[in-house]
Amino acid sequence: MGFLDTALGFILLAILGVFLLVAQLPLQLKLAQSYQTNILSTSSHDVLRTVLSLTNSDADKKNKPTIDIISENVLLQNKQMDFLKDDLNKMVNCYKFEVGTIKMEKSCKGLSESGNKAEFKVVLPYNPNDLPKNLVTNIKLVIK
């Protein structure tokens, strides 16, 4: 009996171990998701940083990406888009920003991957009619 009890004890322990192993998985998944959110958020800024530090290079011209620009600000459909366009053109030398889709004018190093995104705030020219929220707008660059 002593032997069987001991064996049963070990088996129960093993089952408990497996149970714990399975039970902690959702926790680990949740943590992983949390990390991913942060990493995505960070990497979007990294992409921005890459975009900002772009230099003309000898990258493969066949892999020219395009960038879609998405703004929360409806005003950007008209006059203020021009200012934003100018600002972005100053920041990013190798892209030609146009209203709507931004087309790449020259090849840029480091941006041939698909699905890259950059989100950041852009300050707009003063317009008291649009205060307070439209002095700044969130811009999303989607690099295809």
CB 94 within 8 A of CB 105: yes
Separation of alpha carbons 68 and 90, rounded Å: 17
Contact region for other proteins (CB under 8 A) — 46-54, 58-66, 97-105, 109-117? 46-54
CB 144 within 8 A of CB 67: yes
Contact region for other proteins (CB under 8 A) — 28-36, 55-63, 92-100, 103-111? 28-36
Residue indicated by tokens 């020259």:
106
Q: Which is nearer to other proteins, 51 or 104 (CB)?
A: 51
Backbone φ and ψ of 121, nearest 5°: -95, 140
What is the contact surface with other proteins in residues (CB under 8 A)? 3, 6-7, 10, 13-14, 17, 20-21, 24, 28, 31-32, 34-35, 38-39, 41-42, 45-46, 48-49, 79-80, 83, 87, 120-129, 131-133, 135-136
